[in-house]
Amino acid sequence: MKIISTISDLRRELAAFRSRGERIGLVPTMGALHEGHLTLVRRSLAQTDRTVVSIFVNPKQFGPGEDFARYPRNLKADSELLSASGADIVFAPEVDEMYPAGFSLSVTVAGVSNGMEGARRPGHFTGVATVVTRLFCLVLPDAAFFGEKDGQQLAVIQRLATDLGLPLTIVPVPTVREADGLALSSRNLYLSPGEREKAPHLYRSLLTGAELFAKGCREASEILVAVRASLENEPSFRLDALDLVDLETMEPLTLLDRPAMLAMAAFLGKTRLIDNVRLR
Ligand code: AMP
């Protein structure tokens, strides 16, 4: 496995793969890798010939007061995990390699970015779409792998890829969870042991909604009330957002007559956890 930090080295390696007709998979990450990321890597290894994992804590997708400075960074441990998994290239550029002086591109995917996390974290999805566009152009992957855990991000990227018209498949990967249901996340590292014990309650509350749906309930308001009530059973959580939206457009639904996503964000202490389930 090669660890590369410059675009010129990356291009050289990729050209060698392409000259042999090898298909390239891209797994974009911000590092602090866990089994969720590694599942994306394994999907890429299975579906393509060469796997590039990018590790870049993207300043453009963090708002003022968010955790950019304290976001966990550990390139050495990440590289060891990736090497053991069989990835071919780790692309870990510095900020000024990704965004050289004068960088002025800003990619906004309207509509799907506007609600939910987009409304609560202004500029977040523009930061995500800008870095992902740049990665797509640098790597020109045949397939790129994204987790369903970040549900709105996935919808934004699917729209982005369609609208850019790149010959690229976006592969959604189901959320990887701990045995107790907690979705794996780099931000779980921020939880105290006591908070960690309570954290799976977020997913259990989402499942309350999924169970109602499975029993035939199609009223969004009924499901939202039940999920909120369930979360409130654990007073350590502070609900930040609860949404039931069209899986593709991310627009709020009142009637569940099409594939939907039930998504929640809640604070446990200072840590903001997000999770979602698909209803279809
Ligand atoms: P991040 O490093 O948090 O930007 O995540 C990089 C990629 O890994 C994104 O596509 C995430 O959606 C995905 N990911 C993060 N956590 C999980 C998880 N628990 N299960 C599946 N994919 C995940």
| Closest Cα to atom 14 of ligand 1 | 147
Confidence of residue 32 (pLDDT cuts 50, 70, 90): very high
Instruction: pLDDT band for 90, please (50, 70, 90 cuts).
Output: very high
Residues ≥6 apart with Cβ < 8 Å to 253: 220, 244, 245, 246, 260
User: To which CATH superfamily is domain 186-279 assigned?
Assistant: Pantoate-beta-alanine ligase, C-terminal domain (3.30.1300.10)
Strand partners, 275: 264
φ, ψ dihedrals at 53, nearest 5° = -110, 120
Compute and round to an integer the Cα radius of gyration of the chain: 19
The two three-digit tokens of residue 214, written as one number: 């499975």
Question: How would residue 130 be classed by pLDDT, with cut points 50, 70 and 90?
Answer: very high
Q: What is the pLDDT of residue 132?
A: 98
Strands 271-279 and 260-268: antiparallel
* Tens digit of each residue's pLDDT (9 = 90 or more) over 243-276: 999 999 999 999 999 999 999 999 999 999 999 9
Which residues on neighbouring strands pair with residue 54, listed in sequence order?
28, 91
Q: What's the pLDDT score for residue 155?
A: 98
Q: What integer pLDDT is reported at residue 176 of this predicted model?
A: 98
Q: Is the CB of 186 under 6 A from ligand 1?
A: yes
Active site residue 37: yes
Instruction: Indicate the top mutation candidate among 149, 173, 206 to test ligand 1's pocket, ranked by most ligand atoms within 8 A of CB.
Output: 149
Q: Is 243 in the pocket of ligand 1 (CB under 6 A)?
A: no
Per-residue pLDDT band for 15 (boundaries 50, 70, 90) equals very high
- Which has the minimum average pLDDT: 64-68, 92-96, 143-147? 64-68
Identify whether the C-beta of residue 52 lies closer than 8 Å to the C-beta of residue 25.
yes
Mean per-residue pLDDT, 15-38: 98
What pLDDT is attached to residue 261?
98
Domain positions in the chain? 2-173, 186-279
Please state which CATH number belongs to domain 2-173: 3.40.50.620
Q: What is the mean pLDDT of residues 6-23?
A: 98
What would the mean pLDDT of 41-66 be, rounded to a whole number? 97
Give me the helices (H) in the chain, please. Answer: 7-19, 35-47, 75-85, 95-98, 116-120, 124-139, 151-164, 193-198, 201-214, 220-232
- Mean pLDDT for 20-45 is 98
Q: Is 58 left (phi over 0), alpha (psi -120 to 50) or beta?
A: beta
Q: How far apart are CA 149 and CA 117, in angstroms?
A: 13
Report how far ligand 1's centroid is from the alpha carbon of 61 (Å).
15
What is the reported pLDDT for 78?
Answer: 98
Is the shortest distance between the CB of 147 and ligand 1 below 6 Å? yes
| pLDDT at 118 (0 to 100) | 96
What are 127's two structure tokens? 């930061």
Q: Would you place residue 210 in the very low, low, confident or very high pLDDT band (cuts 50, 70, 90)?
A: very high
According to the model, what pLDDT value does residue 121 have? 94
Q: Is 184 in the pocket of ligand 1 (CB under 6 A)?
A: yes
The DSSP call for residue 252 is B
What was the pLDDT predicted at 229?
98
DSSP label at residue 242: E
**Residue 144, Ramachandran bin (φ over 0: left; ψ between -120 and 50: alpha; else beta):** beta
